[in-house]
Amino acid sequence: MQTSKNDIWVGLFVLIGAAAILFLALQSANLLSLNFEKTYQVVGRFDNAGGVKPKAAVRSAGVVVGRVESITFDDKTFQANITLALESRYAFPKDSSLKILTSGLLGEQYIGIEPGGDAENIAAGAVITQTQSAVILENLISQFLFNSAADSGDAAPKP
């Protein structure tokens, strides 16, 4: 009888450990966010959404102030509409701007909010059009190569 009691305790410990590892994996992959704060939604219009994914962080001054809820394509303006769920305790001026930024050189992308100076705050359901799209590494590399090839062509001696 003693060994079966120990087996139950060991099994329970293993289950709790597996649940903790699963929780940490989901939390680190941004697939699970346990936030019970009230939020309000704001839509940002971007020319290029880059690699932003739903549940990506929304940060201001390095602090997570919300999450990306959804990303849709507007076939009338040909822009990406990114719906943000900002925590109610954070209020931003009406003329704030949004940027798509990257953590590190090749890290995950997130939305950055740069506060403006307006006296009025962003209301729920507002649309922010002052945005800066994602920087695409491939475009930067091709532009650098094109410019360096053009510079080396101009430096060649003329007959």
Q: What is the pLDDT of residues 54-78, one digit of tens each?
A: 989 999 998 999 999 999 999 999 9
- C-alpha distances in angstroms, 89 versus 25, 78, 92, 133? 28, 33, 10, 26
pLDDT in tens, 7-30: 889 999 999 999 999 988 887 776
Is it the case that residue 94 has pLDDT exceeding 60?
yes
- Same domain? For 27 and 66 the reply is no
Q: Is the pLDDT of residue 137 over 70?
A: yes
Residues 43, 28 within the same domain: no
The least confident of 7-11, 33-37, 88-92, 126-130 is: 33-37
Residue % of the chain over a pLDDT of 70: 90
The domain tally of the chain equals 2
pLDDT grade, residue 36 (50/70/90)?
confident
- Residue 155 counted as domain residue: no
CB 60 within 8 A of CB 112: yes
What is the pLDDT averaged over residues 103-122? 88
Distance (Å, rounded) from C-alpha 63 to C-alpha 52?
18
Domain identity same for 5 and 64: no
Q: Is residue 56 part of a domain?
A: yes
Residues 42/58, Cβ–Cβ less than 8 Å: no
The residue segments making up the domain with residue 83 are 39-144
pLDDT for 159: 55
Three-state secondary-structure class, residue 100: strand
Q: Based on the domain organization, do 75 and 92 belong to the same domain?
A: yes
Of the pLDDT bands very low, low, confident and very high (cuts 50, 70, 90), residue 157 is: low
Question: Are residues 78 and 132 both part of a single domain?
Answer: yes
Band of residue 102 on the pLDDT scale cut at 50, 70, 90: confident
What local confidence, expressed as pLDDT, does residue 97 receive?
A: 94
Cβ pair 95, 113 in contact under 8 A: no
What mean pLDDT value characterizes the chain?
A: 86
Q: What is the C-alpha to C-alpha distance for residues 128 and 131, in angstroms, rounded to an integer?
A: 7
Is residue 40 within 8 A of residue 74, CB to CB? The reply is no
| pLDDT at residue 12 in the model | 93
- Specify the 3-state DSSP secondary structure of 140: helix
Q: Indicate whether 4 belongs to any domain.
A: yes
Q: Are residues 66 and 3 in the same domain?
A: no
